[in-house]
Copies of this chain bind each other. A is one copy, B any other.
Amino acid sequence: MSFTTFFGFIAGVGLFVGSILLATPNLGLFLNAPSIILVLGGTLAATFVGQEVRYVMLALKGIATTFTPQLVNRNILNQEVGRIIRWGYLVKEKGFLPLEDEMKKVASDPFLVFGVELLITGYTGDEVRGTMESVADNTFERNMVQVNILRSMGGTAPAFGMIGTLIGLIVMLDAMGDNPEALGPGLAVALNTTLYGVLLARLVFVPAANKLQQRQEILRFRHDLVVEGFALLAENRSPRFIQDRMNSFLDPAIRFNIDQQMKER
């Protein structure tokens, strides 16, 4: 459970509700079912017209996953680097075969399994790099589709908010001659859709797109790191060089130093 996402969302909704309650006791003024249906429905309709249904579903599920904690973080990256350096020593001593046992330990991660299989098959460093980079690129492209759909929904929601307000305005203005007193409340209702559109975009779609993109970029970064490591393994580089190259991906504060770790043991 990603506490901060949840907290941020609750805080955002709370601020919105709280600031309304400070201004008026009449919360119902902001609850208007047809307005909600128009904005949310229009946004979804435009999205389903413009995007394959399978990707839209993934994007909507993606909103939910922003409440789950991030899988790849600093510690994971550090462990990843550590494992590759360890495998460097292993390969130097005993060749690629012992990696078959290691593969079982990471069986839940198809990217690592695929990489180890390439190493065991005995491809050259350039072949391993090319094939694994292709996996990393294509995975990133595939996952960014959801992010782009959410981002485009973040632009569509305020547009349908404005459409709703225009409809409300036209109805209201047309009736103005008969009953000028209704102008104020009519405009108030008409502005609700704009408010919904902006809120939806700013509290749901745009932040979800940002968070998913950030995660994809971290995953991409991790993939690039692993690709580089596996290519160096395939090139049979010294474990020391592998460690230096791997550390170049990390924040100096969390760099890996196998000499020091061995001393500390």
Binding site for B on A (CB under 8 A): 4-5, 7-9, 11-12, 15-16, 18-20, 22-24, 26, 29-30, 34-35, 37-38, 41-42, 44-53, 55, 66, 70, 110-111, 114, 117-118, 121, 123, 127, 130-132, 134-135, 138, 141-142, 145, 152, 156, 159-160, 162-164, 166-177, 181-185, 187-188, 191-192, 194-195, 198-199, 201-203, 206-211, 214, 221, 228, 240-241, 244-245, 247-252
Say whether A164 contacts B121, CB under 8 Å: no
- Rounded to whole angstroms, the CA-CA distance of A49 and B245 in the bound complex is 34
- Rounded to whole angstroms, the CA-CA distance of A171 and B191 in the bound complex is 11
- Rounded to whole angstroms, the CA-CA distance of A206 and B5 in the bound complex is 24
Cβ of A211: which chain B residues have Cβ within 8 Å of it? Answer: 49-52
Cβ of A30: which chain B residues have Cβ within 8 Å of it? Answer: 167, 170
Cβ of A12: which chain B residues have Cβ within 8 Å of it? Answer: 41-42, 45-46, 49
Cβ of A48: which chain B residues have Cβ within 8 Å of it? Answer: 4-5, 7-8, 11
Say whether A38 contacts B19, CB under 8 Å: yes
Rounded to whole Å, the gap between the CB of A21 and the closest CB of chain B is: 10
- Listed by A's residue number, 29 A-B pairs whose Cβ atoms lie within 8 Å are A7-B48, A8-B47, A8-B49, A9-B45, A12-B42, A19-B35, A20-B171, A23-B34, A26-B174, A46-B203, A49-B207, A49-B208, A50-B208, A52-B214, A55-B214, A114-B247, A117-B244, A118-B244, A131-B244, A131-B245, A138-B248, A138-B250, A145-B214, A163-B198, A169-B188, A170-B195, A176-B184, A177-B181, A177-B182
Known A-B contacts A131-B248, A198-B159; A34 and B22 likewise in contact (beta carbons under 8 Å): yes
Q: Which partner residue on chain B sits nearest A55 by CB separation?
A: B214
Please tell me which one of the listed residues B53, B174, B250 contacts residue A185 in the complex, with CB atoms under 8 A apart: B174
Say whether B15 contacts A41, CB under 8 Å: yes
Say whether B188 contacts A24, CB under 8 Å: no
Say whether A164 contacts B19, CB under 8 Å: yes
Known A-B contacts A9-B49, A16-B163, A163-B16; A248 and B135 likewise in contact (beta carbons under 8 Å): yes
Most chain B Cβ neighbours within 10 Å, of A42, A181, A228:
A42
Cβ of A168: which chain B residues have Cβ within 8 Å of it? Answer: 23
Rounded to whole Å, the gap between the CB of A200 and the closest CB of chain B is: 11
Known contacts A9-B45, A46-B202, A171-B188; can you find 4 more A-B pairs with CB under 8 A?
Answer: A8-B45, A49-B203, A159-B201, A169-B191
- Rounded to whole angstroms, the CA-CA distance of A182 and B173 in the bound complex is 10
Most chain B Cβ neighbours within 10 Å, of A23, A163, A171, A175:
A23
